[in-house]
Amino acid sequence: MIKLENISKSFQINQEELTILRNVNLEIHAGEFVGILGRSGSGKSTLLNLIGFLDTKFSGNYEFEGKKVGEYSDKELSKIRNKNVGFIFQNFALIETMNVRQNIEVPLMYSGISKKKAHHLTKDCLRKVGLVDFESQSVRLLSGGQRQRVAIARSIITSPSFIIADEPTGALDSKTSKEIMDLFQSLNKMGVTIILVTHDESLTSYCNRVIHLLDGEVME
């Protein structure tokens, strides 16, 4: 599904060129639960932005489902991103003025699907993340773990090809982290492809495969 060939990425800082990713070669297949492990500054977020179609300024070849990502226009790419990628962040990134259902339905806003269908999909996602009774609750009143469950439900409502989870347990205590990782594992068993990025080695026990990123280089 995802194929990166000889990907390099540099930033220009004060006349100096800083290489953040070096000749990255990586393939991720549908159904995998891949962990990308690396220290702070190793290039994890840079790699995620690239995989998630947020950054197209790199050298090398990125093929998604057999097509070169570099050949799409920005408009096409944002469509591809909305359809195929679910994002999960450390700080949940929920909209505080909305309730649980409204947050989960955000990715459907411009999809043109009916309200009835959206509600049906939301109910299904709420079931999957264990929040059936929280549909009308304001997200302000939720715990960290519940907030991340809402974010996970939001990430899967469009049935994306893969989800990117960037340090998803970084703001949670260890018991809640385990619950969230168990949830990722059960979603993966239902067929959701997951790319987890973390600096926490203990989380990689949940993954099928671990990729180590060291100073912008992949060590599988």
Ligand X SMILES: Nc1ncnc2c1ncn2[C@@H]1O[C@H](COP(=O)(O)OP(=O)(O)OP(=O)(O)O)[C@@H](O)[C@H]1O
Dihedral in degrees, nearest 10, Cα atoms 10, 12, 14, 17: 40
Minimum separation from the CB atom of position 62 to ligand X (A): 16
Task: Count interface residues toward ligand X (CB under 6 A).
Answer: 12
Q: Residue 92: how many CB atoms within 10 A of its CB?
A: 21
Are the beta carbons of 23 and 60 closer than 8 angstroms? yes
219 to 19, 140, 159, 163: CA distances (angstroms): 17, 41, 30, 22
**Rounded Cα–Cα distance for residues 155 and 152 (Å):** 5
Query: Which region, judged by CB under 6 A, interacts with ligand X, from 39-47, 67-75, 78-86, 133-141?
Result: 39-47
- Mask 191-220, x = binds ligand X (CB under 6 A)? --------x---------------------
Closer CB to ligand X, 54 or 113, in the complex: 54
**Rounded Cα–Cα distance for residues 76 and 67 (Å):** 12
Query: Which region, judged by CB under 6 A, interacts with ligand X, from 34-42, 105-113, 144-152, 173-181?
Result: 34-42
Query: Which region, judged by CB under 6 A, interacts with ligand X, from 40-48, 51-59, 95-103, 106-114?
Result: 40-48
Closer CB to ligand X, 8 or 45, in the complex: 45
Are the beta carbons of 85 and 77 closer than 8 angstroms? no
Tokens representing 55 are 């950054």
User: Is residue 43 part of the contact set for ligand X (CB under 6 A)?
Assistant: yes
15: left (phi over 0), alpha (psi -120 to 50) or beta: left
User: Is residue 17 part of the contact set for ligand X (CB under 6 A)?
Assistant: no
User: Is residue 27 part of the contact set for ligand X (CB under 6 A)?
Assistant: no
Classify 28 as helix, strand or coil: strand
Are the beta carbons of 173 and 142 closer than 8 angstroms? no
User: Is residue 40 part of the contact set for ligand X (CB under 6 A)?
Assistant: yes
Minimum separation from the CB atom of position 198 to ligand X (A): 9
User: Is residue 45 part of the contact set for ligand X (CB under 6 A)?
Assistant: yes
Residues 109-168 that bind ligand X (CB under 6 A): none
Query: Which region, judged by CB under 6 A, interacts with ligand X, from 43-51, 89-97, 105-113, 130-138?
Result: 43-51
Which residues form the interface with ligand X (CB under 6 A)? 11, 13, 20, 38, 40-46, 199
